[in-house]
Chains A and B, each alone.
Chain A
Amino acid sequence: MDVGQMQRQWLDYTRSLFIEGFLDNQFLQLQQLQDENNPEFVVEVVSLFFEDSERILKDLTFALDQQGVDFKKVDAHVHQLKGSSSSVGAQRVKNACIAFRNFCEEQNVEACLRCLQQVKQEYCLVKNKLETLFRLEQQIVAAGGSIPMMELSF
């Protein structure tokens, strides 16, 4: 595959992530913040997101595993994850968190456990997608090309 083909593949893949709702406009904001002085900005932010999310998901699993569930604590964790996912543009994770918070309010353990599964699933999906995207970027750069600028109108 030549650089041009790789770049087109990257563009198609990125567009699909937006169309399928995995990413939203906030991710575009992050891409626009990347420049020659901050060439790794998106990867840095997304890596932080992965670390932060994995920590929160672990804490959530623990909190919901307790005999007497502290829903305030659970809600606080979900609020954090909603904030992080919102900030990187991980739309489906964010939406799963919004649904989760409703069940925290109802203090419904079963529903919360289902929501946690949903959030974990969405997180895994977007993590895989973003890792694939970064691999494509690495291939382009290794072949001497540059990452195209996104020109989506949202």
Chain B
Amino acid sequence: MTSQNLSTQLRALVVDDNILNRKIHERMLNGLGVECMVVANGKEAVDVHFYGQSFDLILMDKDMPIMNGIEATKELRSMGINSLIVGVSSRSMEAEIREFMEAGLNDYHVKPLTTHKLASIIHNINPNYATK
């Protein structure tokens, strides 16, 4: 993990094809003091990295059109992106979770996320990060 000090702003990328989830996860992250960008599918997530953006945390939905979470995670890892990638999905079959994890996730959570779950994810990135 990269070392952070208290004054470093954490940045997160929310990747989800569902407009409600994008809005809710963005608001939750903002409430925890994390700056956010939101995109609607895996290809957009790959593109923003291709154009030079970087993030401390990527919240990756699994089922998305154009490029899904598994493909996007594999692509980002092959591009050398080392950010924390947390998979988020409503699916909970073991085989599907394993496939998603093996694509290169650091962690996986079942949807819907709560502020509490996100706070513990943030804490893992930076235990000293001041959350509200």
Which residues in A have some Cβ–Cβ distance to B below 8 Å?
A: 26, 29-30, 32-33, 35, 38, 41, 44-45, 48-49, 52, 79-80, 82-84, 86-88
Interface residues of B in 3-34 (CB under 8 A from A): 18-21, 23-24, 27-28, 31
A86 to B111, CA, bound (A): 8
Q: Which of A29, A30, A48, A82 contacts B19 (CB 8 A)?
A: A48
B75 at the interface (CB under 8 A from A): no
Given contacts A26-B112, A33-B115, A82-B90, contact A41 B27 (CB under 8 A): yes
B90 CB to closest chain A CB, in angstroms?
Answer: 6
| Separation of A85 and B28 alpha carbons in the complex (Å) | 18
- Among A32, A33, A80, A83, which residue has its beta carbon within 8 angstroms of that of B111? A83
Residues of chain A lying within 8 A (CB to CB) of residue B19: 48, 52
Q: What's the A-B contact tally at a CB cutoff of 8 Å?
A: 48
Q: Which residue of B lies closest to A82 (CB)?
A: B90
Interface of B toward A, CB cutoff 8 Å: 18-21, 23-24, 27-28, 31, 63, 90, 111-112, 114-115
Q: Which residue of B lies closest to A32 (CB)?
A: B115
- Residue of A whose beta carbon sits closest to that of B21: A87
Tell me if A's interface is mostly helix, strand, loop or mixed.
Answer: helix
Chain B contact residues: helix, strand, loop or mixed: helix
Chain A residues whose C-beta falls within 8 Å of the C-beta of B21 in the assembled complex:
83, 87
CB distance from A127 to the nearest CB of B (A): 15
Q: Are A38 and B112 in contact (CB under 8 A)?
A: no
A48 CA to B18 CA, complexed, in Å? 10
Q: Are B115 and A83 in contact (CB under 8 A)?
A: no
**A30–chain B nearest beta-carbon distance, Å:** 7
Docked-complex contact B18 and A84, CB < 8 angstroms: yes
- Considering the complex, give the chain B residue whose CB is closest to the CB of A41: B27
Other A-B contacts than A29-B115, A33-B31, A45-B23, 10 sampled, CB-CB below 8 A, are A29-B114, A33-B28, A35-B31, A41-B27, A45-B20, A80-B18, A83-B21, A83-B111, A86-B90, A87-B18
